[in-house]
Amino acid sequence: MAETMAETHSPMSEPIQILKDEFRRHLETFYARLNLTPPYESVEKAVRTLTTIVHALPHDEQARIVADPALQWQQFRAAFETSGLVKKHRGIIAGLVANRAALNLPVEYDHFLNFFRR
């Protein structure tokens, strides 16, 4: 019976783990490309926020999000804002965003950068 429960639990956790890993990777890239030290506690809070948001969704919706990068970025953006990560390094990032062309970040990172535009 424990084996069955583990099998049942594993597929439910998979979309959440995939999204958590992807979000963490994007946050690491975001701060690395901006040459900023990530606010580690706030990053962890953002990952926990994403987990809470996604966990509340039905499994089929979680699977749809995993399969659709646009939906992933909606969730990542919501977690970035809701967790308060948007308040960290605010002045520095706002200054960097003023010259967006000079930033070494793919366009999808505008989902985060748009929070810092003046």
How many angstroms separate the CA atoms of 51 and 49, rounded?
5
Please calculate the CA angle 66-1-11 and round it to the nearest 5 degrees: 5
Candidates 111, 110, 92, 116; CA nearest to 34 is 92
Global pTM reads 0.85
pLDDT in tens, the chain (118 residues): 444 444 444 454 699 999 999 999 999 999 999 999 999 999 999 999 999 999 999 999 999 999 999 999 999 999 999 999 999 999 999 999 999 989 989 999 999 999 998 6
Structure tokens at 54: 């996604």
Structure token pair of residue 78: 């919501």
Q: Is 21 helix (H, G, I), strand (E, B) or coil?
A: helix
Domain-wise residue ranges, the chain: 29-116
Sign of CA dihedral 37, 38, 41, 42: positive
